Amino acid sequence: MMKDLQKFLNNIIDIFTTKKSLPNDVLNDFIKYFYFTLDKEIKSNKSEVLKNKYIKIRKNGLNYIIDNKDAIMVNIRKKKLSK
């Protein structure tokens, strides 16, 4: 996994919150939060290089989240419990 993606995912997990409790609902909320956070970065950037970087992180990140949803959920639960 790309270093930028791992760093970004960790930051997103740190700030992500949801009122949902069912694991599928939490994961769906997380995916939406991840997508729209990057979408905002893409739309607010003038630089094509940065836009492309964020588009790549978004694409790879969504694939990573889907492929590793159990590990992502463990990290989200850990963060929730430590707050």
The 10s digit of each residue's pLDDT in 4-20 is 788 889 899 999 999 99
pLDDT at 76: 92
| Residues in contact with 5: Cβ distance below 8 Å, sequence separation at least 6, in sequence order | 57, 60, 61, 64
Distances (CA, A) of 4 to 7, 20, 65, 77: 5, 28, 15, 22
35: Cα separation from own chain's centroid: 7
Both tokens assigned to 61: 């990140």
The 10s digit of each residue's pLDDT in 21-38 is 899 999 999 999 999 999
Q: What is the pTM of this model?
A: 0.87
Per-domain residue ranges of the chain: 46-83
